[in-house]
Amino acid sequence: MERIYFDNAATTALDPAVLDAMLPFLTNKFGNPSSIYSYGRETRMAVEQARKSVAKILNANPAEIFFTSGGTESSNMAIQAAVRDLGCKHIITSPIEHHAVSHTVEHMHHVHDIAVSYVKVLPDGHIDIEDLEKLLAASTEKTLVSLMHANNEIGNILDINAVGELCKLYNAIFHSDTVQTVGHFAIDLRNTLVHFITGAAHKFHGPKGVGIIYINENVRIKPFVHGGSQERNMRAGTENIYGIVGFAKALELATATMETDAAYVGTIKYYMHEQLKKHIPGVGFNGDVLGNSLYTVLSASFPKTEKSEMILFNLDINNICASGGSACTSGAEQGSHVIRAINNNPNQITVRFSFCKHNTKAEVDAVIEKLKALV
């Protein structure tokens, strides 16, 4: 049986055109970009051309784009710099952030004695904007707000402009984890009130191990990694040339077909939602499923039974790739902090299905047939 891949929020397949763009830098264009001779100059040019391409797509200045190893490093960099260099003594975040953010915030709290507040999450999974304003108004210290643009488990999308306006009003620093939206939504940084955003190429058919951090030109921070002058003295270490070239190419391709891809993938998500409701008794959904939500992500909960407890294992045996995220915290399975925050029901098993332009309705039908037997 051919494998059905419904875990695109975890990673996506590398686009063949992206591989083609990367290959010269994996073979004959192998110079170190810090070298002054021709081999170095051609790779330096490739890095700077990639930076310009990414900046143009995101409507930023090339000097505001820095290449990293991925979204996790970028979020670490933003949060630590806000505390170390920008004087933030208080962090406001949410209980449903990616661990790249939540674990970094916890580290800053325990090691640097930074105060942490958690904004309330509404039952539909959206951030309570009124509560955020209360927390900002009550804060007596310089504050960092770190809230993700779109949740990787339930798909809810934050009103990033509303949060940016509040941060401006209360003179707070704003970092948004945009890993699930860069490459999937049009982002206009020139007209978005945000100090830091992050991106990872492998979420939009680029290579793993390369990401970006956008640092607004009005923000002055110190180097995150020491040892060399790479990335304009912000991140030492020889550049991942083929990864950087791959990031820019993948973003360029994703942007060119963004509207048609979004429309098509959205129909796959909607179709699966309808088929689950129709064929699986007791199915429920997490987040603002058909509202302000990622067109790529569908989080479904199934009644907990002896059969359904092994659902991911059984899907895997049947060559179906999806990921879990139940509220339970028993044994080795720690469950999902996101699902616990909005649907803390120990009698449900949650599965995240996430889609891309390569998926089909026929694949949805095949998965539904398997689920009928498994739930």
Q: Is 260 left (phi over 0), alpha (psi -120 to 50) or beta?
A: alpha
| Residue 27 buriedness (CB in 10 A; 0-12 / 13-18 / 19+) | exposed
Q: What is the CA radius of gyration of the chain?
A: 21
Q: Which amino acid does the sequence have at 101?
A: V
Identify any residues that bridge with 215 across adjacent strands, giving them in sequence order: 196
Which residue's entry shows tokens 């490093």? Answer: 73
Which residue's entry shows tokens 């009005």? Answer: 218
Round to whole Å and give the CA distance between 338 and 336.
5
Closest by CA position to 361, among listed 285, 265, 290, 277: 265
124 and 287 in contact (C-beta within 8 Å)? yes
Round to whole Å and give the CA distance between 316 and 322.
8
The set of residues, in sequence order, having a beta carbon less than 8 Å from that of 325 and lying 6+ positions away, is 153, 299, 335, 336, 338, 339, 350, 351, 352
How many C-beta atoms lie closer than 10 Å to residue 63's C-beta? 11
Q: What are phi and psi of 225, to 5 degrees?
A: -125, 130
Round to whole Å and give the CA distance between 121 and 243.
36
Round to whole Å and give the CA distance between 116 and 139.
11
356 catalytic per annotation: no
Instruction: Decide the pairing of beta strands 143-146 and 115-118.
Output: unpaired
| Token pair of 22 as six digits | 């990367």
| Strand (E) or helix (H) holding 270 | helix 258-279
Which of 88, 167, 321, 328 is the catalytic position?
328
Closest by CA position to 150, among listed 296, 254, 46, 271: 296
Active site residues: 328
